[in-house]
């Protein structure tokens, strides 16, 4: 029974990046300085809104959003991830 997660702890598991209000305020400032094409991108916008409302993201989601916020472009445009052309 020790391997079964309690429902309340399921969303706040160790696999998620948890954000405080100060973190969110900092990332909102970074988000506001992004190019408009990223701010209107449905994928990044959904990640950003989830971060603000639920205050957590999975590690993969956070990796994508963090790269965008810190570098001003996506991993695909930077050539880190391949494009399926």
Which residue has better confidence, 82 or 62?
A: 62
Using CA of residue 19, residue 80, residue 38, residue 61, what is the dihedral sign?
Answer: negative
Q: How far apart are CA 31 and CA 51, in angstroms?
A: 12
Would the pLDDT of 41 be above 70? yes
Give residue limits of the domains in the chain.
23-39+54-72
Task: Give me the pLDDT at residue 76, please.
Answer: 84
Task: Give me the pLDDT at residue 27, please.
Answer: 95
Largest CA distance in the chain: 49
| Burial of 16: CB neighbours in 10 Å, binned 0-12, 13-18, 19+ | middle
pTM: 0.74
Q: How far apart are CA 12 and CA 40, in angstroms?
A: 28
- pLDDT tens-digit series, residues 7-30: 445 555 568 899 999 999 999 999
pLDDT tier at 40, thresholds 50, 70, 90: very high
Per residue in 37-70, is it b (16+ CB within 10 Å) or e — as a string?
ebeebeebeebbeebeeebbbeeebbebbebbbe
């Amino acid at each position: 029974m020790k391997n079964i997660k309690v429902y309340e702890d399921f969303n706040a598991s160790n696999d998620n990046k948890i954000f405080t209000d100060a973190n969110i305020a900092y990332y909102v400032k970074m988000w506001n300085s992004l190019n408009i094409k990223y701010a209107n991108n449905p994928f990044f916008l959904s990640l950003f809104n989830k971060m603000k409302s639920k205050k957590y993201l999975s590690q993969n989601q956070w990796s994508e959003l963090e790269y965008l916020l810190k570098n001003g472009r996506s991993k695909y445009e930077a050539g880190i991830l391949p494009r399926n052309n």
